[in-house]
Structure 1
Amino acid sequence: MDTQHHGLIGAVIFVALAVFILWKSRFGRRNPYPLPPGPPGIFLIGNLGQVSADHPELDYIRWGREYKSDIVYANMLGQHVVVLNSAVAATELLDQRGANYCDRPDFTLFKIMGWGRTLTFLKWGDKFKLHRKMFQSTFSRSNIGIFCPMQLQESRKAVRSLIKDPGSWRDSTLLMTTSIIFRIAFGQEVPSESSPYCEMTKAASQATTAGGIAGTSLVDILPLIRFVPSWLNPSSALRHARMSRKAIQAIHDQPWDANMRAIGADTAPSSFMKIHWDHFVENVKAGRPQEVSLADIKGATGAVVIAGGNTTWATILSCILFLTRHRDIQRTIQAKLDVELYSEGPERLPESGDRCKLKCLDDFIMETMRCLPLNPLNIPHKSLRDDVYRGMFIPAGTMVLTNTTAMATDAGTYKNPHVFDPSRYDRGEPYPLGNFGFGRRKCPGNWLALGSVHSFLATFLAVFELKQATDDNGNPKVPEPGVSVGLGGHPLPFESVLKVRSQEMADLLMEEA
């Protein structure tokens, strides 16, 4: 038997032993309260293999119906997993009992990729609190107004490019969202699709997608697998993570170095990095102790790009899908938009201040997010201590998932939940919960991201209408909602045809350039 076979047998024995030890450590104790309901598992592997790799959220919805519970339980190779299928359960546990559910799993796979310094994946502790404070001080709802002019500028730039080439809507929107987030984070503009920053963004998106649902890969459940040599082929996700690390590191390093040169030349515009760099320098000059290190600033700035650009682009693509699919709703929004742009004096382009007058567009964006959650199970929380909720035991160290698909299709909350209907919010139905997370892990940049989406759509819809593509027989190709698997979820490929609907608005926009 050759050396490779010896190594493979040794790895299998090693993993089996690790699984058994893990299972004994987690299930050796007893509690008078039962675990939440769920299907019976198999010795050692638990419920592994009983949940779809592509759409586990649908399995958890089915389990909830079967066990008549909005909380269900799974055991994945000894790891406790609790899934919250209702907004009530998610709010009561993650918001109201947030101190116990504020931690994250280890995310071994994403750390191997290079995401270890990113706020999204940081464990609960002083570093997380520090990084979140940096985000909140910059991206609070009251502070994000400083970014509105830049968001509007980039939105108009993108729509101008679409007037010249309507078929480039995917690339143009990617360029726009990439430029917005790199300007906000590092003060670096992105002039074209060939920019290395666009390539970095694509690489990061591919890496997170290939990583699957956060915290659920074999490497996350059995972290010791990360030490198995690549030639043993332990996991395709692990191989991809190792190959992605260089590209992920580039997001932290290259724009940082470029902006440091601009800061040295006194030409750097305001940005997240510069705001915190200036504060760092002020403390040095005044002899005050530093609250943050340069590594903290660098890690947090990279996190702005990683967390912001991909999600914003995917949300815009989702909106284009539903505008194409529901042209009646598109026309309703445009009619209300035209009232603002044509009613008072000469026609004008949309401005940032119009948002408060265009609730219909906010309602449309929220309905898009409700009907097509980009990360149906969000990023898992982890419980710090044993807890009992509604007579059910949730052990310390439990991975807690929030099923936004289940919440968005709850017939007790939404009338006809599978119907796309932005007017439901005029009738008093609540905006969807969970798309930006819950509790102390809620995304601190949510208002910033929604501002970019609104700014683009207002400008875009003032100029263009969206039509459905047709096949060779002239039949319309109606886009079907669907999302890719993985943390960086995107709408599945679809077609849409852009046509200028207002030459006056197109001319105004081109004259401004």
Structure 2
Amino acid sequence: MDMPTERFALRYSELGEKYGPITWLVVPGRTIIVLNTYDSMYEILERRGSNYMDRPRAAMIQELVGMNFNTPMRQGDPTWRLHRKLLRPALSPDAIKRNYSELLIAGAHRFVKRVIREPETFRASLKRSLGETISDLTYGAHEDDQGNDYVVKQEELLVYSTLAIAGYLVDLFPLLKMVPGWFPGAHFQRDAKKWREHMTELRNLMIEGVQKRMAANEGRSCYVVNMLEDLQKVKDETGADITEDIQAVYDSGFSFYQAAADTTEIGLKNFLLAMTLYPVAQARARQEIDHVVGARRFPEFSDQGDMPYVHAVVLESLRWNPPAPFIIPHASREDNTYKGYFIPKGTTVIPNVWQISRDSTIYEDPSTFNPDRFISNPNILDPRDFVFGFGRRVCPGKYLAYQTMWMFVVSTLWAFELEKPEGEPPLDKDTDRFDFGFLNSPRPFECNFIPRKEAIDKILVAE
């Protein structure tokens, strides 16, 4: 009964305070350990990563909804290894800057333009701009020639996925998946059928869209197109069978939106909220941008090396509120021991990364948004070392997430001054700022965007 049903990260932290770095829980049909320190996460999930590379069985989302093809949800099998083999070079820092810089800049500019026109809808504009950017980067488009809006359909699927992963009785008792949908109480079967149909339709739409554009020689540089062209070259040169690789490209590509959209959006909402609450940090970041960029041109990725404080702002936005506060759980493949504790095969391992962000032995005054901590202490723990996961399951898109956030952050501060509206609550406590769900989003807040005339004039003229 100690297993939390709400405010998960906070409850997991309370368990850590009571029982120490590793807490053992038993629920029907499952054994669970919760890790609450960076050292325990690093030792178990990083150094022993080969034993903790699987995922716990989740009958609802993996089997009934059918998301078991999705890279983050797959078990650590040969197909998952193929996904990682494809994703690693395609999402390396050099590949991102070489292939996707223009897409990321265009996405940031779209956000700025939307806020200029409708500042009161900045949250919707951020979601839409990020969605278009991720879809363009993955498939080369965010809609097809029939008017199907990939972003809207992906957002609907994200809602379904969140509901499916939130926990159904069938996850504890997988045999229930044999119960027919018409049976009383089997609403989960009806939910799963509806969500699976939506997901299948969306996958087919986006794959067919890519195939049509490539056949018409209209395929823009994007992950799926680039990978398919590379595979075709391999086939032409060696005659290799690339059928399995093509399917892996489609499946891993479909994972982009599911893995990146909400988490990157939360990271940027962290930034916007922090700028309204900590105007001194905002002023210092803008001063650096003005010094390096000025108002006569747009910020570019080549400016990154000259903006250490903006880099620190992005890191602190990730540290201040990790978007996935306990990431996707791991599962042990074989029996193991840690500091005398026996961890049986099949144990679910939950790393509570929120607690790392609030560990005062690592981060002084951890609830305060303070980018200076990354300037004054170069050896401090980089949040990218825990926010994006551990070991074999570390997110392959961690560099893409950082670069996307950096471009949106620098473009926003180049174009606007951000201000907390009068009458807004002070939001002094973490519990006032964040909702502590499966994804820890900032609670709804307001923000005034004050245009900086020279920058705004330039971006509007460029339309």
> Structure 2-normalised TM-score?
0.91
Give the match for residue 410 of structure 1.
Answer: 359
Which of residues 330, 346, 356 in structure 2 aligns to 1:397?
Answer: 346
Q: 1:359 to 1:273 in 2, by over 3 A?
A: same
Give the match for residue 381 of structure 1.
Answer: 330
Instruction: Output the CA distance in 1 between the equivalents of 2:165 and 2:254.
Output: 21
Matched, 1:163 2:116: yes
Larger fraction in helix: 2
Which of residues 136, 144, 158 in structure 2 aligns to 1:205?
Answer: 158
Query: Contact 1:225–1:234 (CA<8 Å) still a contact in 2?
Result: no
Which of residues 397, 400, 414 in structure 2 aligns to 1:462?
Answer: 414
* Percent of pairs with identical residues: 24
Give the match for residue 58 of structure 2.
Answer: 107
Query: Contact 2:7–2:436 (CA<8 Å) still a contact in 1?
Result: no
Q: 1:235 to 1:354 in 2, by over 3 A?
A: farther
SS of 1:75's partner is: strand
Equivalent residues in 2 for 1:290-369 (5 A)? 290=242, 292-342=244-294, 347-369=296-318
Q: Compute the RMSD of aligned alpha carbons.
A: 2.2
Residue deviations 1:108-160, cap 9 Å, x none?
22122232211001111100100111110200122211211221122112212
Query: Contact 1:382–1:399 (CA<8 Å) still a contact in 2?
Result: yes
Instruction: Output the CA distance in 2 between the equivalents of 1:324 and 1:231.
Output: 51
Q: 1:237 to 1:417 in 2, by over 3 A?
A: farther
Tell me how far 1:310 sits from its aligned partner. Answer: 2.6
Tell me how far 1:71 sits from its aligned partner. Answer: 0.8
Instruction: Output the CA distance in 1 between the equivalents of 2:176 and 2:8.
Output: 23
State the AA in 1 paired with 2:196.
R
Give the match for residue 127 of structure 2.
Answer: 174
Tell me how far 1:229 sits from its aligned partner. Answer: 3.3
Tell me how far 1:211 sits from its aligned partner. Answer: 2.9
Give the match for residue 227 of structure 2.
Answer: 276
Give the match for residue 371 of structure 2.
Answer: 422
Residue deviations 1:345-383, cap 9 Å, x none?
x73221111122222222222222222122211101011
Tell me how far 1:180 sits from its aligned partner. Answer: 1.2
Query: Contact 2:53–2:330 (CA<8 Å) still a contact in 1?
Result: yes
Q: 1:264 to 1:489 in 2, by over 3 A?
A: farther
Give the match for residue 80 of structure 1.
Answer: 31
Give the match for residue 459 of structure 2.
Answer: 509
Query: Contact 1:349–1:459 (CA<8 Å) still a contact in 2?
Result: yes
SS of 1:99's partner is: helix
Which of residues 128, 133, 155 in structure 1 aligns to 2:80?
Answer: 128
SS of 1:110's partner is: helix
Which of residues 96, 102, 126 in structure 2 aligns to 1:144?
Answer: 96
Q: Which stretch has the larger CA shift, 140-149 or 87-96? A: 140-149
Which of residues 494, 497, 504 in structure 1 aligns to 2:448?
Answer: 497
Give the match for residue 18 of structure 1.
Answer: none
Residue deviations 1:175-210, cap 9 Å, x none?
21111111111111459xx96212112212212322
Instruction: Output the CA distance in 1 between the equivalents of 2:184 and 2:279.
Output: 49
Residue deviations 1:386-433, cap 9 Å, x none?
111111101111101100111111122111222221211123232224
SS of 1:498's partner is: strand
Residue deviations 1:472-506, cap 9 Å, x none?
xxx333454213623x5533322222221x20011
Give the match for residue 219 of structure 1.
Answer: 170
Instruction: Output the CA distance in 2 between the equivalents of 1:314 and 1:251.
Output: 24
Instruction: Output the CA distance in 1 between the equivalents of 2:198 and 2:328.
Output: 22
Residue deviations 1:227-249, cap 9 Å, x none?
22344454766654433222222
Equivalent residues in 2 for 1:7-18 (5 A)? none
State the AA in 2 paired with 1:386.
D
Query: Contact 2:142–2:149 (CA<8 Å) still a contact in 1?
Result: no
Tell me how far 1:335 sits from its aligned partner. Answer: 1.4
Query: Contact 2:61–2:164 (CA<8 Å) still a contact in 1?
Result: yes
Give the match for residue 14 of structure 1.
Answer: none
State the AA in 2 paired with 1:310.
D
SS of 1:338's partner is: helix
Give the match for residue 34 of structure 1.
Answer: none
Query: Contact 1:387–1:394 (CA<8 Å) still a contact in 2?
Result: yes
Query: Contact 1:212–1:485 (CA<8 Å) still a contact in 2?
Result: no
Tell me how far 1:436 sits from its aligned partner. Answer: 0.7
Instruction: Output the CA distance in 1 between the equivalents of 2:110 and 2:359.
Output: 40
Matched, 1:476 2:424: yes
Q: 1:195 to 1:164 in 2, by over 3 A?
A: farther
Query: Contact 2:32–2:350 (CA<8 Å) still a contact in 1?
Result: yes
State the AA in 1 paired with 2:170.
V
SS of 1:490's partner is: coil
Residue deviations 1:10-45, cap 9 Å, x none?
xxxxxxxxxxxxxxxxxxxxxxxxxxxxxxxxxxxx
State the AA in 1 paired with 2:208.
D
Q: Which stretch has the larger CA shift, 437-446 or 282-291? A: 282-291
Query: Contact 1:372–1:483 (CA<8 Å) still a contact in 2?
Result: no
Listed as ranges, the gaps of 5+ residues in structure 2 are none
Q: 1:338 to 1:477 in 2, by over 3 A?
A: same
Instruction: Output the CA distance in 2 between the equivalents of 1:211 and 1:362.
Output: 36
Instruction: Output the CA distance in 1 between the equivalents of 2:127 and 2:409.
Output: 14
Tell me how far 1:283 sits from its aligned partner. Answer: 4.0
State the AA in 1 paired with 2:93.
R
Instruction: Output the CA distance in 2 between the equivalents of 1:512 and 1:323.
Output: 27
Q: Which stretch has the larger CA shift, 278-287 or 148-157? A: 278-287
Tell me how far 1:341 sits from its aligned partner. Answer: 2.1
Which of residues 6, 15, 23 in structure 2 aligns to 1:63?
Answer: 15
Instruction: Output the CA distance in 1 between the equivalents of 2:307 and 2:142.
Output: 29
SS of 1:142's partner is: helix
Q: 1:96 to 1:482 in 2, by over 3 A?
A: same
SS of 2:304's partner is: helix
Which of residues 92, 95, 110 in structure 1 aligns to 2:46?
Answer: 95
Query: Contact 2:13–2:36 (CA<8 Å) still a contact in 1?
Result: yes
Runs of 4+ in 1 over 6 A off after TM superposition: none
State the AA in 2 paired with 1:164.
R
